[in-house]
Amino acid sequence: MKYEPPIPPYPLKDMSRNEAHHFFEWFLTQIPNRCEQLLQIVNSSKGFSTWKNDFSRDSLNPLGNWFSENVKIREITQTEIDEVYNSSPDWFHQVELEDWTLTNRTYSYAFDLGIYFGEALKYSIGDIDWILKTNSPSSVDYHLPILHHVGQLDCCPFHLMKIYAFGIARGSKGSEHLPVLFDIWYTNLTGQYQTST
């Protein structure tokens, strides 16, 4: 099976209210397919043919190893740099941007990893589900699928996995960070410590 990157109906940035709701409906229908795509691409990689997408915490150890081996970067273009500065406040123009970014394939892997990570949290916690973040327009998670538990922090797995990928690329995060993230967010969402897999 050839890996097919996810193709959201809209860019994930600056979606209108209607676009965000349409995207969320699309997202919910894509969860099984994206988990299957992740399984196939991981199993087709050398050393990972026995990985199972059973949503257990234990499955995150080898998945973190696989992701660490498959995060790739590319040179950022001047046009992309200009777009960042043009859409930023004046004070940000003094910030020197890195001369690289993640490849599109890496972003696709991070999207799928975010879905799997979220489903693993759902599997372990039981009484949470995906919702669309519709409050806090200034939030980086606004109009994106999140996991929400009453009285606890909101979790946006997509942003977590993107940040994780940048950490891998910079050499500041390793494969072991994925189960650590899981434990942190299990606690954040439940107020309890993860004690079993």
Query: What pLDDT, in 10s, does the model give residues 76-100?
Result: 999 988 888 888 888 888 888 889 9
pLDDT in tens, 142-173: 899 999 887 788 899 999 999 999 999 999 99
Distance CA 184, CA 187 (A): 5
Number of other residues whose CB lies within 10 A of the CB of residue 40 = 15
Whole-number Å distance between alpha carbons of 196 and 152 = 21
What tens digit of pLDDT does each residue of 1-15 get? 689 999 999 988 889
**Helices H / strands E in the chain, number of each:** 6, 4
